[in-house]
Chains A and B, each alone.
Chain A
Amino acid sequence: MAECGEISMMLGAFEDSELEPNEMQEVAFHLARCESCTSILADYSTLGRDLRSIAAEPALAGFSSAVIARVDRLPQPVLTRIERFIRRQLDSVSVGSGIAWGGAVAAAAVVTIILMTPYAQQFANRATPPTVIAKADANAAPAANQVATANEPTMADNDSHADISRLESENHSVAVWSEPRRDTTVIWLPDQP
């Protein structure tokens, strides 16, 4: 059996469960037979409980604000000062003017997007007259034949707004019409005999 002097050195750690397993067993074995060490252990336990009972938490009302106020009074690094200046400027913008700024930016973005899209370009092209891509020239007829074929007049048949015009040419077999809705100009050349 271990001596009380040796065991008493380990009683605190035994109370805290900080001993190795074999030491825990050794102390427990001793305590089962030693009233003196058991009494010391009980006092340690009471002491710990009493220390916890007198360590009342201080009143912390306003603690956070007091700490923040003290931090604010500390000399700030340059970068922090710049950051705070920018933040103050942003905070100074009122809500109403902020909404106005936001609306203006959003409107500018929408206009830019529209102008950059094919839809906008198509809209712009509709405003201009249909492009004549071939002239009713007898000599030019074979070349124009490469642009459109006789199979295509159905487009004009379906379009009531087709603008059919004959060209100033003695060759009446050549026709050119435009279809504004499709943004297309069609040259019709019947099959040559």
Chain B
Amino acid sequence: MDKIATGGIAKDETATDEIILQTRDLSVQFGGLKAVNRVNLTVTRGDLLGLIGPNGAGKTTIFNLITGSLVPTEGEIIFRGHQIGGKRPDVIARMGISRTFQNIRLFPQMSVLENVAIGLHAAPKYTVLEALFRLPRAVRSDREVNRKAMEHLERVGLAEYHDAKAGSLPYGLQRKLEIARAMATSPQLLLLDEPAAGMNNEECQSFIAFLRQLHRETGLSIVLIEHHMNVVMDLCPRIYVLNLGEVLAEGDPREIQRNPAVIRAYLGERRRTARAGDRA
């Protein structure tokens, strides 16, 4: 992964202005319900984009559409110049989009190391024949994968747990592991679905630092769904607000916090800058 130095994360300071992901009039309909309605999003390379909105606004649904778990009923999703709407999830993943989940989806009985390794060898690096006969290429590849997986673990500070069963880790570390696993796929775009869910203030602060450093070191484009307002406002120079499946507003944290429609729909009566985000 390239280490692009993006010291300040404001939009106009990123290395390139290349649009990495764009949705045009993206919609999905379940029976009579339009869960996502003509959503237009743009993610620029190196962005750390926030996606917020009340529960049921369609945020995770948009993630599901982007990653191929759902097929759009209308509209387009364009990733690095390719139409990806309706493609198979594993194909999209191999094209460079990876994600974490609202409800943690680790492989609980596999070790921490093995979980991350999946990210590296989801598309196996040798043939079945070479696997069956344990040919040198397979042995070397496995060794290499393990080495790289350890590096990923070291980067997120989980190296000492490499042998533990993933399901036995405490909650906060499981979330970190999910991120490490997603990063192991060498994505161009990382979608994080409520990575700070269930964390208290202190944990949120260290998570903010963690994510900021990760973003700085790797230059990954990240889209973040979060309910903890302090996390989003602190980290994301640009934020989309969703409500009832539609984009309500877009802007930097200050603009969002001042936007009356947003306040009405989401932040409730409190007109102060959001602090210690409550789950809606």
Do the two shown chains form a genuine complex with each other?
no
